[in-house]
Amino acid sequence: MKRFCCSLLLSCLAFLSHAQAPTRPGSSLVVGRLEDFIEATKHVAEPNASLKSQVEARPELNRLLVIAAFDFVQITRTAPSREAYLDAMDRGLARLDALMMTPGDRREIANFYIDLMDIVGIDSSDGRLDAFAARQPASPLKASN
């Protein structure tokens, strides 16, 4: 259910980003859209009062996603370039790598970055997101008896 709620939120954000007029990097519209995206990431709505929200269920993941989006805001405000955004994506994916235990989790993170790329006008990650989603997570070490 948690995965469904997160996927639904990301899908809604992706739809909203496509529904608006395209923007160019460096514009105040891009920064505004990124800041809205950060707020949506910070405050994932609870679909049911009896269930924990994604923010409560995975606070470290949420914190790292907010940092990733904020990295994009900083780049947009200073010197937006495709390479700068891709470098920020590499750093963010490296921070998130240890937390992603299932292929579904990795795909959700890839979709998060696709939404960020859409906002800033980047059309390709040059295979970074596909490689991240396909990578097998590290198995936790088992204690030997």
Helices of type H across the chain: 2-19, 28-42, 54-57, 59-77, 82-96, 103-120, 128-134
Q: What is the pTM of this model?
A: 0.65
Set out the domains of the chain in order of their start, with CATH numbers.
2-134 (1.20.1480.40)
What pLDDT was estimated at residue 137?
61
Q: How far is CA 16 from CA 10, 54, 66, 93, in A?
A: 10, 20, 18, 24
Kindly report, residue by residue over 48-106, the tens digit of the pLDDT.
444 344 444 577 888 899 899 999 999 998 878 999 999 999 999 999 988 887 888 89
